[in-house]
Structure 1
């Protein structure tokens, strides 16, 4: 099992939780981004820097992730592709993407994007604090435990 991290927009606190869990459980964690992102040094932790470009890191994860792996991303289209490959996917807030909810999440994402482009909705500023980190940590541990059974 490999833990795949869409690292471009993954908060430092979440990256650290993932790295600690990977090392503790003896699992490989691969962070993919188009720039080098600070991650802990360990033989189980890998930073893959892909070419710059829209979706290049996403495509790397899609191409390499396999059933039984776990992926962390806030990118809904990437999550949808991974769910279609039967990969367990959660976001950095601990929300689990499933075949039952991913299409709805895509539709909502597209609708909100259209609203913002039309000026109907202002850009949303969301907070990411202790509560969100705790929710992620709990969901991450739960999904890891399920996959390792």
Structure 2
């Protein structure tokens, strides 16, 4: 098993790295060159840089991920593709994407995009909280122990 992280805007990379390396699971951070860092990662953590183009990280993750891998993303499209490939997919706010909830999430995203295209204002995501962080930590630890 490997853990793939859509890392550009992921606020829980530190948790993923800490818990993933403790469990001896390889962690692969996929991020754009615009987020290049010279920070050295611990053993067992790899950073893959991709172009800054739309969905470049998503495409790379889908090229690399295999059935049984774990993907962390806030992107519903990537989550849908990961589920179809047989991966477990988590959101950084501490919930699991499932075949039962992904259609509703994609539909909501589509309707919001259409409303914005029509000139309406829509609400953005709620701010990331310390409660979200702890919810993710507990879910992540539970999922990696089960996998």
The normalised TM-score by structure 2 is 0.91
Do the aligned partners of 2:112 and 2:122 also contact (CA within 8 Å) in 1? no
Match of 2:93 in 1: 93
Structure 1 portions without partners, runs of 5+ = none
Query: Per-residue deviation at 1:37?
Result: 4.9
Structure 2 portions without partners, runs of 5+ = none
Query: Per-residue deviation at 1:5?
Result: 0.2
Coordinate RMSD, CA, aligned: 1.6
Check if 1:30 corresponds to 2:19: no
Bigger mean CA offset, 113-122 vs 18-27: 113-122
Do the aligned partners of 1:16 and 1:40 also contact (CA within 8 Å) in 2? no
The normalised TM-score by structure 1 is 0.90
Query: Per-residue deviation at 1:120?
Result: 2.4
String of CA shifts for 1:56-112, please: whole Å, max 9, x gaps: 110000011111111000000010000000100011101111111111111111111
Q: Structure 1: how far apart are the matches of 2:144 and 2:48? A: 22
* More helix per residue: 1
